Amino acid sequence: MAYQSINPNDGKLLKSFEPLSPTQLDKALAAAETCFQSWKQQSYAQRAAVVKKAAALLHAHVDDFARLATLEMGKRIDEARGEVKFSGDILAYYAEHAESFLAPAQLHPGIGAAHMESSPLGVLFCVEPWNFPYYQLARVAGPQLMAGNVLVVKHAGCVPQCAIAFEQLLLDAGAPVGAYTNLLISHEQADRVIDDPRVKGVALTGSVGAGRSVAARAGQNLKKSTMELGGSDAFIVLDDADLDQVIPWAVWGRMYNVGQTCCAAKRFIVLDAVADEFLARFKAALQALKPGDPMDEQTTLGPLSTEGALLQLLARVDAAVKAGATLRLGGQRIDRPGWFMQPTILTDIAPGNPAFREEFFGPVVSFFRVKSEEEAIALANDSDFGLGGSVWTKDAARGLRVASRVDAGMLFVNNLDWDHAELPFGGIKHSGYGRELGRMGIQEFVNKKLVRSGHLAAPV
């Protein structure tokens, strides 16, 4: 597996890195296991001092971290700054709340006393993707380091400098060597890490294919895992929706991070009464986006992360059209250096079309016109994925009613505001299992031990 920084804005190679040798990998795992034996003994206050310092360093050096993300994966600079700030917020959140989240919970048996207490599992192996090169790391590092676990992390091959920078961030914050270790390793080496008895749990964010492979390997080793996989989130526009509010959210929901977001709005399901107006206004808003250097704050359309991602997306759009979909906008590579694609709208997507079930990880809109609220709910649920979704209506009670019937891990009514550390993140079906962030996120990799006390008579 290659670890290379290539600027998506112009396709130029910035830097290459060699993967770890088998000996280097074993030393890293040994250091992590040694560190765990002392890190788990630290008090919450001692661990919080490190994690809180890392948060402060992120907040103090937003531009430095943001520029690196823009260089490596093409994220527009204002979005990159937002990601860095949010990553710092996540670390600060767990530094403040971890102790209360993991405090012993009292139980009340009929006789004697009992409680549940939480303890860390050990070394965790995390496999993370490129689309949010800091946020994906912060949302495992914050809770799990505060829980007393230590992490070894395989980041994506196209963001090695971001991966190295995050490891250095924690070292600069005072984390001991082995608490958080970046691993430049191959897929084959990743399998060996999962097999290693020193590793006690596995967390992955990535594609369905990667999830199947890693979850199977973890299962063979009887190791706890969490999977945050793809999504094909429904954006349900009911007939009483306020389009002045909806259209800006539709653009943001589909085009944030150039659409390279698991929980992006991907399937736009619109009731007939407003479908024509919605489509016309949405199309005009997408056409107004201007491609350019993602370092330029005036740019509104950045590049995709890699040429491979661009070519795959173009091929999927072509396949959708050949299978009967109508191309209403875009569908082509933009004629300029770098990996830019036109915002694209597909309509008339029949159930037999591969586009009906696929996830488009980029600036491609799948538009569906429906006749009723019931049909909208049925179409939203006719998906292999179940990550998130949203409902748009002036009637808040109606929105909540529809949201409760959509099969997904996260539903939003009249907003798509998922970027808060206290909100649990995760899905169902092919979108994976387990939750990150919030109170739930720190519970995934701790032993919940029952302790019961009392002088009870033995059964006769």
Pairwise CA distance, residues 183 & 186, whole Å: 9
Which CA distances in Å does 272 have to 2, 216, 275, 460? Answer: 48, 43, 5, 72
- pLDDT above 80 (res 145): yes
- The model's pLDDT over 273-331, given as tens digits with 9 standing for 90+, comes to 999 999 999 999 999 999 999 999 999 999 999 999 999 999 999 999 999 999 999 99
Sign of CA dihedral 334, 335, 336, 338: positive
Alpha-carbon torsion, ordered 153, 155, 159, 161, to 10 deg = 10
Residue whose entry in the numeric block shows the structure tokens 């704050």 = 297
- Reading the block at residue 218, the tokens are 């973890």
Quote the pLDDT of residue 272: 98
What percent of the chain is modeled with pLDDT above 90?
98
Quote the pLDDT of residue 104: 98
Quote the pLDDT of residue 24: 98
Quote the pLDDT of residue 20: 98
CB contact at 8 A, 90 and 138: yes
3-state helix, strand, coil in the chain (%, to 5): 40, 20, 35
Quote the pLDDT of residue 6: 98
- pLDDT above 80 (res 160): yes
- 199: confidence class by pLDDT, cuts 50, 70, 90: very high
- Reading the block at residue 113, the tokens are 């006393």
Report the range of poorest mean pLDDT among 44-48, 109-113, 228-232. 109-113
- In the DSSP assignment, the letter for residue 431 is T
- The model's pLDDT over 352-370, given as tens digits with 9 standing for 90+, comes to 999 999 999 999 999 999 9
Instruction: Report the pLDDT averaged over residues 226-250.
Output: 98
Pairwise CA distance, residues 207 & 84, whole Å: 23
Identified catalytic residue from 228, 373, 436, 444? 228
- The model's pLDDT over 11-47, given as tens digits with 9 standing for 90+, comes to 999 999 999 999 999 999 999 999 999 999 999 999 9
Q: Is 262 a residue of the active site?
A: yes
**Superfamily of the domain at 3-229+431-451:** Aldehyde Dehydrogenase; Chain A, domain 1 (3.40.605.10)
Instruction: Report the pLDDT averaged over residues 44-71.
Output: 98
- pLDDT above 80 (res 1): no
Quote the pLDDT of residue 406: 98
Could you tell me the residue ranges of all domains in the chain?
Answer: 3-229+431-451, 233-413
Quote the pLDDT of residue 275: 98
CB contact at 8 A, 269 and 376: yes
CB contact at 8 A, 300 and 335: no
Alpha-carbon torsion, ordered 240, 245, 246, 250, to 10 deg = 180
DSSP per position, 194-253: HH-TTEEEEEEES-HHHHHHHHHHHHHTT-EEEEE----EEEEE-TT--HHHHHHHHHHH
Among 441, 444, 433, 439, CA closest to 121: 444
Pairwise CA distance, residues 382 & 386, whole Å: 10
Strand pairing partners for 58? none
Pairwise CA distance, residues 304 & 363, whole Å: 9
Identified catalytic residue from 126, 162, 262, 263? 262
Quote the pLDDT of residue 209: 96
213 Cβ contact partners less than 8 Å away, ≥ 6 residues apart: none
**Superfamily of the domain at 233-413:** Aldehyde Dehydrogenase; Chain A, domain 2 (3.40.309.10)
